[in-house]
Structures are given as C-alpha cells and as structure tokens.
Amino acid sequence: MGERHLLTGNHAASYGAKLSRAEVISAYPITPQTTIVELLSEMVASGELDARYITVESEHSAMAAVIGASAAGCRTYTATSGQGLALMHEMLHWAVGARTPVVLTNVTRAMAPGWSIWSEQTDFLSQRDVGWMMLFAETVQEAQDFVVWMYRVAEQVFLPGMVAMDAFILSHTSEPLIVHDQAAVDAYLPPFDPLYTLDPAEPRAYGGLVNRDHYFEIRYKAFEAMERAGRLLVEAGEEFGEALGHRYGPVDPFMMDDAEIVFVSAGAMTSNVRYAVTLLRERGIKAGLLRLVAFRPFPFEEVRRLLEGRKVAVLDRNMSSGHSGIFAEEIRSALSMGAAPTEVYGYVLGIGGRDIRVETVLDVADDLMSRDEPARTLYVGVKGLPIGPARADREIARLAPLEEVSP
Amino acid sequence: MPDLSHVDDYPEIPVSLRSSRGVLRTGDWRNMRPVLAERVSACTHECPASVPIPRYFHHLAAGRLEEAFATFTLRNPFPRITGRVCPRTCEAGCNRVDREGPVSIRDLERYLGEATAGLPHLPSAEATGSKVAVVGSGPAGLSAAYYLRRSGHEVVVFESQPEAGGMLRYGIPEYRLPSAVVDDEIARLQAMGIRFRTGVALGGDLDLGNLEDEYDAVFVATGAWLGRSMGVEGESLMESGLDFLVASHDAGVRPPGRRCAVVGGGNTALDVARTLRRLGAEATVLYRRTPDEMPAIGEEYRAAVEEGVAFEFLTLPRALRKDGADLVVTLETMRLGDPDDSGRRRPEPTGDDREARFDAVYSAIGETASLEPFPDALKGGDGWLAVGPSGETKADRVFVGGDLATGPATVVEAIAWGRRTAEAVNERIGGGYEVPDWVAEQGDGVVGPTDINPATFPDTDPHHAPHLDAAARLAAGMGEEAGTMTDAEALAEIERCYSCGYCNECGTCFVFCPDVAIRWEDGPVFDYTFCKGCDICTTECPGHVILTVKEEEVARG
C-alpha cells in the first residue's frame, strides 16, 4: 500500500493536500513554508491535481479566499508560517464562525523582530484561542498524514484545523515516508459534504449581524463541535491505522509505564528527546516521554492519566511571556482538575531556532533531578546564565553610543 | 421562523433564516449604478465603413454565421472583397497593437466572407416604387446599389466596361482579388433584383439629364481612370500603367520586354510592378521622393521589395527617346525640400542627370476623374464638382461618390461612401432598411487602450491566414497570393479580441458580482434591487462595456 519516497516535510505536506484532493488552494509565499505551495502550484498547473490555485497579495486574503471557497462547497487548503499566520489571525476566527473546515499547514517560525526564519512554536500557539483544531507533526510522514487526518475530522464537525511542523528541522529535512495509495486515501476520506453551499437559488445572508440574544447559542454550537472533535480525532486516528497503516492519536507516549521523570514535548524536537530518554534509561534513570500531538482539542484525559503523580519536565520551544511556556501552562491546567498532586517543571528552550540537542535534554534532566520544588519557567541555554528562572530585578540597559558612524 | 427559545432551534452558523432577497434590499444603499454602455471599439472607429468588428466576431465565435453576415453587411456588403484588399486601418487602431500585435481583423473578415459566400443577401424592404440609377459599378456604385436595393428601391447599375466591377475587376490585379470573387458578388447582387447594364458610358449612350428625368435619383460613381500627363519630352513613348493592369486580367498578356520601369509611388505603380514580376519581367519603380512619402499601402511596398521589384528613389524621368529597340530615359536625381500642401517633403531638382535603358516604361503617377459628362451647373468655383458629405450635388436628384468625388482612394472608402449616399438618397426620396436597435443605443465614445482590462486576456501571438512567400507568389503567376484561415485559427484569433465596448457575454461580471446582483439572461441584467453600486463589475469588465454612473444622473435622465 502506497509508495516509499524521500521527501522534505514541506513536500510531504503538499502530498497530504494532494492525497486529500484539495479543490481550492490559496496561499501567499513565506519562508519556510513556500515549497509546500510551490509544489502544489506545479501539481495544479500540470493537471496532476484537479484544483484551482488562487494567488493573492497577503495571507489575510489567502485565508479569506479559502474560507469563501469552502463556503461554496470546496475542500480547501492553505499553508503559511510565522508572520503570515499572524496576518491571517482575523480570518482564522472567521473560518470558525463560518464553520468552514479549511485545513492549514503552519511551518513554525519565530516572530519578528528580530527577523528570523527559524523554528519556534510561538506563532502557532498564539492562535490557541481562535477555535481551530491544532495538531503538531514530528515526522515527514506525519506532515503528510496529519493533513488527511485533519480533513477527516474537520469535515465531520465543520471546524477548521491546522497542522504545525517545525521550520527546517522538519520542513526542509528529507526523510523516507510512505505516500499513500490514492484509492486508499479516497476510501478513508470521503468527498466533502458541506454544511451549506452558497446558492443564488437559496438566497440567504451569511455571517451578518447577530445580536446579544442569539450570538451565544451559535458560538456554543461551535464549542460543542470542538468537544465532539476530541472523540472523532481518536476514532479517525485509529481508522487511519487500519486503512493506511499508521495509527495516530492525540498523545504519543514513550517508555511511560514505569517512568518517574517524564518529558513533555511536541513537534520535531521530540526525536532528540526520545533518544535522550533511551540514554537516561541506560543510566538506570526511569525516564519517559509524552509527546503532545493534539493541542486543540486538548487531550485532558490522556494527559491526566499519563502524567498524574510523576515528576514532569515540559519542554517549551515557545513562551507566553509573563506566564510560562505554553505547553507547561496547559499541562498544569489539565492536572489541576482532580488529578493527584503532580510536579510540573516548565523549561523554555530553543527560542528562535537554536538547536535542541540530545545534550540539551540531558542537561535539563540533570537540572530536573536536582530540583525538588516545581518551577514555573526555567530558561535553558541563555548565554552566561545557568538553567533557571528569569531575573526580575535586572536593570534595563540602554544602547551605548556607536564608536564610529561613518562611512 | 423557529421561536429560538432553545439552543437546538439555532442554525450552526450565523445565517438569515428567511430569504435574504426579501429582507436585505441592498440596492437601497446605492448611489452609483452600473449600466451596460456599448460604445465604439477602436477598430470600428478606424474603419472607414464603421464595421462593428467585435460584434460580428462574437457571432462568428458563437457559430451564428447568418447573424455575423447580417451584422457585417449592415456596414459593408462585401467581406470577401475587403477581406482581401483592405489596407487595415482597423488593425492599426486595435487596442492590442502594442501587445503582441493587433487582432488579424482583415484575415477574419476574409474568413467571414468565405464562410458566408453561399448565403443570399438579406431580403430587401418592401418595394418603394422609386427607381434609382447607379452609374459606375466599382465599389462605391455596388455598395450604393446594395443599400438602395435593400431599402426597397428598384436599382439599375450602368457600366461602361463589358463587365461590372469597375476597379475591383479591372484595376486590382488577379493575385490580390480574383475576378471570380467579383463575379460571385455581382451575381449575389443580381439575385437581390439589382439590374446591370454594361457597355454603356455616361456621355456616350447615357445622358445625365435623361437619367434625371427617368429616375428618382442618380448616383454617379465613375471613378478616376484618367492618366495624368507628366509633361516630359517623349511622354507618348510611355504606356499607361492602369491600362496594363486592365489588360493583365486576360490570360496570355505579356509585357513588351524584359526591362520594365514604372513611374510613380502609389498603389497603381506597385500593382503594375508586382504584376510585371509575375509575368516574368524585371520591374524598376522610379519615384521622385523616398519610401517615407510613398502613398502606396505599406504592405504592398514590402511585398514588392520581397518580389524583387527594384526601386530608384529621388528619381524623376525628364525625357524619353527611342534608340533602336531600346527606350532611353533621362533620369534626374532629386532631393527633398520643404513640405508641400500634403505635408510630404517636396522633391527638388538637383540638375544631376543620368540615362537608363528599358524595353517599356509605364506611367502610374495617379489617376484623375473625367468631368466631361457633367454640366457646368454641377461644378463649383474651382471647376470641380461641388459635392456634399454624402455625395449631394447642386442637382436634387444627382449624387456622386467614390474616386470621382475623392480622387483615387481605397475600396473600403468607396464602399463607405456608397452606403452614405444610399442613406442620403433615402432621406430625399423615402425608403430605408431595418437597422437593429443597438445602432441607436450605442454610445459614440471610443474605447481606448487604457480602458481595457488586459489582465483578463492571456498573452497570445496573432494567428494569420496563409500567405505565399515571395518565391511561391512569383511562381503562382497571377494566382491568388493569400488564403483563408481555418475554423480553428479563426476561433483562436477571435479569442484574442478584447471586444472593446461590446458585451460578448464573457460572464466576467456575473462571476465577480459579490452580491449576486447580476442575473444572466442571454447576457448580464443588473438587479438594482440588490446592486449596491460597488463598481466591481465595471472594474472587471474586460472590454469596458459596463460603466458606473451616479444615481442622481440617472434620475435626471
């Protein structure tokens, strides 16, 4: 079933859209996403993919275009990154309110300034509250498969979904993967049956003014749909395994059965964490790993069941400034509702694309084992500083005058 | 309406639960409105006969041949003729000219002509009982005869030559316009009921006064056939270029020798030179100015050069004499001085003479009309005929036109004049033919290149009708040099047309209207109950047919 290929994460995502038979694609190029839609535009131009490719002048318009196309009854796909995702923000809300099951791939990228094209998850996690389903891919295979999986769920609950992958570490790294047989994907993912279609014969006003008497009920229905999506995501992930040979779920535990210390991670950095766990096990340390695959809907049950009572280090390549790494915040929240006391240590690392090496994870493990009191946010690898919390008493330093101005 | 007292009564999305057409009459917000405002395309504007080019293209593309023919013949009855010999001022005006080159309008006109060659002309209006005489059966006479007959008059065409057709038959060489095409078109006019009397000349068997008595109107379009004198010594040794062209229609005509010269720089001169080449002779054109001042059609000049016609510019014959079998011509070298009345720089003598030997020299320095048959009463102060814009003369029943009125001009200008005169005659004696509503509804503004939305059209190189290369043309003798586009080429070429100012039902406005306020009923219909006047259809309309106007102007009318 399927064919083995060697593809980058970005091209795998293109194949995910192609296998899903996306009918309308609209995107604005942005590094490190660009090669996703480049390949798709070639597929559309050559006729390999029977779709319309709409070029636009901004990500805001790209999202508007796919929302419109989705409302008109088409399966739609887009991809973006960093600033592009931020520019889409307003329209991301709209896609939810309009209940258009758009699927988007976001290649995570640190936000400017300083300008950076390197990986960081803050762009993606900043969209936490827009109401989209959110998945985090670790491998090239997942960069492809999660697009298909996402459509399967999105089109049942009529909510949009985004799949994240880390810039370069995954987006531009080639790995072997199985490009699935189209017929098998077709069997798994039926054609889009829209909730409504724009039809002059059925003239209605969509997305208009809704007063206070009615707004809550309509939004409530979207909240309910997201709750339903949690169950469907599990079901569809299992069916993916049956139909296409790769089983997916909202979390991905590794060596968790007897783990005393547990790392929580998401995305491509997880591969190094997994290897670090095996090294720690060789040293006799009962380490484990819980990879978060689904971020929205959040896998409360799984997180609680798997982390309860253990010593947890959450590795966040992101930061909600003034609070914690975003995953740490979410994990603590999930564990606060009736779980046994669980120590959660928040580690923030790899900001702006700095490498998270196996050694980095082992340093975190040493630090974790040296602590006996949960810490909110511990920064790892800031030059000149040991792993530790941010300094609240540091004076702000002004720029020293330039020594030389010209030429 | 559900009572919405329970969340389950609600839709999943914010949407109107009644038809939005009933509740949201968005047209109330409008202060501007789109209107379909057909105007004149640049090509039509540049066409002397005002042929509605984008309109008949649209009919052709839709496979509506009869409608295309009816649309074309509203302005010009002879697409088979002008489709071959027109100088294409339309193409110079085409808004695509600065992109990949103009739409090949003349080739498409020929395509239309050939595709509709078997169709009869439109039926004539009910008989008026009036009789009109047309004297001269060149393009002006035939065009006038057509429109007069179509208007319901009885029409008789008089021709001095043995066969009808005038310059079309006798002046234009076979390789540009085969006589068989002229025959067909005359036959088609005869089928309308137009009668032809050949071999009768005005001033000979025909008398203008008698015609005035016998007919309700007389249109004289006898052309410009008289050669002009150069006033050089030994001029009688020259032959008439036009006479040679007339004779060239007979098979077996041969030039008197190998070395031939043609004096002049107009279309007749080049036709003579190109015909000489086809009949196996060498041809040297002697012209007193430079290529920039030549009155000939540019493409004729280029074709002549390709065919090996030699050109000696700034050269004026001063004297001819016989030397045995040779004609010895004294040629003076000229130089260009200040511009003359025509705006062209005037040739001035340099006194630098040389001699050249030829077997024959043809004079083709421009023809003029003979005024012999006309009474002085019709002449103005300058001794020439006094002619109004539609051919009116000082006599109520007499109209003149074509080359007789304008001097040597193009076929299409003569055709346009013929139609104009037919309309003037109708005004005077009554009668007329049915004209579709769009003629009156069309605005007179011309759609220019900056009005067009070119992004709607892909870059496409022009398609052309087949045309023999120079060697093949010479090998073909007097055989026709150009062919007709295939159906596929014609359709592809019509696709290139921006359809300036004419709605060809492309559907762009329908697709772009964000309010579904354009209904499609064989074309766009604006639904002003819902149209907000956003201007998008106007902006997107590829041919600039939709305009946005202020509501207050609509209210004022």
**Per residue of chain B (557 residues), what is the pLDDT tens digit?**
678 999 999 999 999 888 877 777 889 889 999 999 999 999 999 999 999 999 999 999 999 999 999 999 999 999 999 999 999 999 999 999 999 999 999 999 999 999 999 999 999 999 999 999 999 999 999 999 999 999 999 999 999 999 999 999 999 999 999 999 999 999 999 999 999 999 999 988 899 999 999 999 999 999 999 888 888 899 999 999 999 999 998 878 888 889 999 999 999 999 999 999 999 999 999 999 999 999 898 889 999 999 999 999 999 999 999 999 999 999 999 999 999 888 888 999 999 999 999 999 999 998 889 888 899 999 988 888 999 999 999 999 999 999 999 888 999 999 999 999 999 999 999 999 999 999 988 888 899 988 888 888 999 999 999 999 999 999 999 999 999 999 999 999 999 999 999 999 999 999 999 888 999 998 999 999 989 999 999 999 999 999 999 998 887 76
Q: How far apart are CA B249 and CA B252, in angstroms?
A: 9
**A229: in domain:** yes
Query: Residue B24: what are its φ and ψ, rounded to 5°?
Result: -110, 80
Asked if A207's CB is within 8 angstroms of B4's CB, the reply is no
**B524: in domain:** no
pLDDT-flagged residues of chain A (< 70): none
Mutation for B interface: A155, A218, A223, most B CBs within 10 A:
A218
**B246: in domain:** no
Pairing relationship of beta strands A251-254 and A287-292 according to DSSP bridges: antiparallel
**B27: in domain:** no
Does the beta carbon of B1 lie under 8 angstroms from any beta carbon of chain A? no
Asked if A203's CB is within 8 angstroms of B15's CB, the reply is no
Residue type, A242: E
**Residue A366 lies in domain:** 251-379
Number of C-beta neighbours around residue A10 at 10 A: 27
Q: Using only C-alpha atoms, what is the Rg of chain A?
A: 22
State the DSSP string of A138-207. -SHHHHHHHHHHHHHHHHHHT--EEEEEETTTTTT-EEEEEE--HHHHHHHSPPP--S----TTS---BS
Alpha helices in B346-486 (DSSP H): 403-406, 411-429, 437-441, 470-475
Asked if A204's CB is within 8 angstroms of B10's CB, the reply is no
Query: Can you give the length of chain A in residues?
Result: 407
**Of B330, B348, B363, which marks where a domain is finished?**
B363
Tokens of B313: 């510019």
Q: How far apart are CA A99 and CA A93, in angstroms?
A: 10
Asked if B7's CB is within 8 angstroms of A205's CB, the reply is no
Chain B nearest CA to A218, separation (Å) = 6
Instruction: Pick the residue from chain B with its C-alpha nearest to A97.
Output: B13
Task: Sort A147 into a burial class: Cβ within 10 Å, 0-12 / 13-18 / 19+.
Answer: buried
Tokens of B165: 């057709």
Domain count, chain A: 2
Task: Sort B183 into a burial class: Cβ within 10 Å, 0-12 / 13-18 / 19+.
Answer: middle
Query: Can you give the length of chain B in residues?
Result: 557
Q: Are residues B459 and B383 in the same domain?
A: no
Mutation for A interface: B12, B20, B531, most A CBs within 10 A:
B12
Residue with token string 């209210």 = B555
State the CATH number of the domain containing residue B489: 1.10.1060.10
Mutation for A interface: B3, B6, B15, B532, most A CBs within 10 A:
B15
Asked if A214's CB is within 8 angstroms of B13's CB, the reply is no
| Residue B434 CB-half CA count within 13 A | 9
Nearest CB to B16: which of A97, A200, A205? A205
Q: 3-state DSSP call for residue B524?
A: strand
Q: Are residues A294 and A152 in the same domain?
A: no
Residues 430-469 of B with CB under 8 A from A: none
**B404: in domain:** yes
Q: What is the pLDDT of residue B344?
A: 86
Tokens of B201: 């000349």
**B427: in domain:** yes
Residues of chain B contacting residue A214, judged by C-beta atoms under 8 Å apart: 4, 10, 14
Residues of chain A contacting residue B20, judged by C-beta atoms under 8 Å apart: 203-205
Q: How far apart are CA A283 and CA A276, in angstroms?
A: 11
Q: Are residues B162 and B215 in the same domain?
A: yes
Q: Are residues B143 and B89 in the same domain?
A: no
CB-based contact A329:A320 (threshold 8 Å): yes
Pairing relationship of beta strands B398-400 and B217-220 according to DSSP bridges: parallel
CB-based contact A33:A143 (threshold 8 Å): no
Domain count, chain B: 3
Residues of chain A contacting residue B516, judged by C-beta atoms under 8 Å apart: 200, 203
Q: How far apart are CA A55 and CA A34, in angstroms?
A: 13
Angle at B142 between CA B141 and CA B146, to 5 degrees: 120
Q: Are residues A34 and A143 in the same domain?
A: yes
Q: What is the pLDDT of residue B557?
A: 67
Chain B nearest CA to A137, separation (Å) = 30
Nearest CB to B10: which of A99, A158, A221? A221
Does the beta carbon of B12 lie under 8 angstroms from any beta carbon of chain A? yes
Q: What is the pLDDT of residue A407?
A: 80
- Sheet containing strand A103-108, strands side by side: A52-55, A24-27, A76-81, A103-108, A161-166, A133-136, A294-296
Q: Are residues B314 and B342 in the same domain?
A: yes
Q: How far apart are CA A323 and CA A333, in angstroms?
A: 13
**B409: in domain:** yes
Look up the ipTM and state it.
0.90
Asked if B4's CB is within 8 angstroms of A205's CB, the reply is no
**Residue B325 lies in domain:** 252-363
Residues of chain B contacting residue A97, judged by C-beta atoms under 8 Å apart: 13-14
Nearest CB to B12: which of A158, A207, A208? A158
Q: Are residues A215 and A339 in the same domain?
A: no
**B30: in domain:** no
Q: Are residues B145 and B89 in the same domain?
A: no
Q: Are residues A99 and A224 in the same domain?
A: yes
Q: Are residues B138 and B157 in the same domain?
A: yes
Q: Are residues A144 and A178 in the same domain?
A: yes
Q: Which residues contact B64 (CB under 8 A, 6 or more apart)?
A: none
**B186: in domain:** yes
State the DSSP string of B223-256. ---EEPP---BTGGGSEEHHHHHHHHTSTT---S
Q: Are residues B209 and B175 in the same domain?
A: yes
Report pLDDT digits (tens) over A268-300. Answer: 999 999 999 999 999 999 999 999 999 999 999
Q: Are residues B357 and B285 in the same domain?
A: yes
Dihedral (CA of A211, A212, A216, A217) sign:
negative
Nearest CB to A217: which of B10, B19, B23? B10
Q: What is the pLDDT of residue B554?
A: 80
Dihedral (CA of B19, B20, B24, B27) sign:
negative
Q: What is the pLDDT of residue A63?
A: 98
Does the beta carbon of B251 lie under 8 angstroms from any beta carbon of chain A? no
The partner residues of A98 in beta bridges, in order of sequence, read none
Asked if B20's CB is within 8 angstroms of A195's CB, the reply is no
Q: Are residues B172 and B108 in the same domain?
A: no
